[in-house]
Structure 1
């Protein structure tokens, strides 16, 4: 299968790198010429336009920063869509928009999948990230070998759009956890606790989480470099709030989170790292939440292994979970 990949940013570039590293026939495209040239230097083909890519490839993956960007790319690609073509949307996006765009692909005889990823850039780089996939079962089984190259754990979530709903939910939970970790670290510092000891106390206890074991490290280092910016957080938690509003769920925590990140963007800029949100509490208390011995960047120390389908209880896997 010849694969096209559009969007070589923080996450997309690492996912495309997994395909290239594992010997897939890959073409790439990005508006950033430097990113395109970097892949060309590694022996990868570069498409001049998304339309050319859809003509040349059986499957085209998009990993873009916003629903508007995906819609713009699809507008260019759509005339080239026909039977046998697959569009795979790996961006974190609005389920109603993926359903609309995917519906146009399906109407032209192609197949559409929303397959966002979760687990951080460091796991995207090693092919150990998790992937949700929303599409019909036949399409899922067709693309499963590709998804298990891109990621370690692959979950078929149901119909087109379902993966995007779940992905937005997981980003909402991660953001809530980030804010609570920031409050915990600042409060412990104010209470006179050693921050390295505090990190370990959380890590080995019921208070631990994926966010703590990853993001707390770059917070305590002081780099705060998590490869995810405040505007992207605002997009994701805003999408979650919209899902709740459409479903008639009166959320209480979500609006506070939106207000906190709106304030963070006003103070530090939309492109500030999301973990810089702790600076609001540092400035309010006059404390510095750093400690020696923590890394500036996250590195996935798990070896790259073949991926597999993860199944909810009672559902048989196509690939089988080890």
Structure 2
């Protein structure tokens, strides 16, 4: 049994907590309100009210909040890193800038930090089949793998710290680019009289198939744009991050940019 502290038991985090408890781990969940503490208790976890309590005695602390800014807030401003014991491990599931986990590691040299963004949804977590892209030292990866295996499969070690974030961001960039390609193909098809649903169904069986086409076709109805609209909040967040990080590192996304604009136009400022 491993003692696990958990921050962010929301849409994605709640099924992770359930799986951790079912696997026999001792799980403390941060709940800043009585309602959230009650929800944590219903998951079978120990509800705690502050970051010091969630880190107390924890071998592994998992952070699964929505944005990079929230990761920095809870880990740095709220004092989670300071409250963690030397030799413990911080796991960041939130998709964000690789620079964030590097900064956390710099600020807490006695804490092992790994980035482990996920690919999939709550239903995948509940089934124990969420994909994890894990960046960090191999020795740390091996040590925490039994905890991650409570809900993750496959668990892919992508290399050093920050590499999990890069892989996740590039993965979602490719998904957005595929959606951009499909949107262009559907628009062309409409101009020449090809039904969009029929096009997607056929492409899924042909050499032009893609994960994006399978996701759209698997819904059974709706257009490419309908699917983009349904996931735009989550996918758009990650695309915005990779654009920003690419610029920070002096890179650009090349021909992918036009496809990203087609799928997820940059909001006007």
**Bigger mean CA offset, 188-197 vs 232-241:** 188-197
For 1:319, the equivalent position in structure 2 comes to none
For 2:243, the equivalent position in structure 1 comes to 241
1:253 lines up with 2:251 in the alignment: no
**Bigger mean CA offset, 57-66 vs 13-22:** 13-22
Pair 1:197–1:259, CA change in 2 (3 A) = closer
Once the two structures are superposed, the pairs formed by residues 1-322 of structure 1 within 5 Å of their partners are 1-30=2-31, 34=35, 36-75=37-76, 76-105=79-108, 107=109, 109-189=110-190, 191-218=192-219, 220-221=221-222, 230-245=232-247, 246-249=249-252, 251-254=254-257, 257-258=260-261, 261-262=264-265
Alpha-carbon separation, structure 1, partners of 2:229 and 2:22: 22
Pair 1:16–1:205, CA change in 2 (3 A) = farther
Question: Could you tell me how far 1:262 is from its partner in structure 2?
Answer: 4.4
| Mapped contact 1:218–1:226 kept (Cα < 8 A) | no
What SS does the aligned partner of 1:149 have?
coil
Per-residue CA deviations over 1:59-108 (Å, capped at 9, x if unaligned) read 11001111110011102212212323110001101011110012223x2x
- The answer for unaligned runs of 5 or more in structure 2 is none
- The answer for unaligned runs of 5 or more in structure 1 is 267-322
Alpha-carbon separation, structure 2, partners of 1:228 and 1:200: 19
| Mapped contact 2:130–2:151 kept (Cα < 8 A) | yes
Alpha-carbon separation, structure 2, partners of 1:235 and 1:194: 31
- TM-score when normalising by structure 1: 0.71
Alpha-carbon separation, structure 2, partners of 1:124 and 1:90: 12
Question: Could you tell me how far 1:191 is from its partner in structure 2?
Answer: 4.1
Question: Could you tell me how far 1:35 is from its partner in structure 2?
Answer: 5.2
CA RMSD of aligned residues (A): 3.0
Alpha-carbon separation, structure 1, partners of 2:8 and 2:154: 22
**Bigger mean CA offset, 22-31 vs 202-211:** 22-31
For 1:320, the equivalent position in structure 2 comes to none
- TM-score when normalising by structure 2: 0.83
Pair 1:225–1:189, CA change in 2 (3 A) = closer
Alpha-carbon separation, structure 1, partners of 2:96 and 2:136: 15
Matched residue pairs, number? Answer: 263
Question: Could you tell me how far 1:216 is from its partner in structure 2?
Answer: 4.2
**Bigger mean CA offset, 228-237 vs 12-21:** 228-237
Alpha-carbon separation, structure 2, partners of 1:221 and 1:36: 39
| Mapped contact 1:12–1:63 kept (Cα < 8 A) | yes
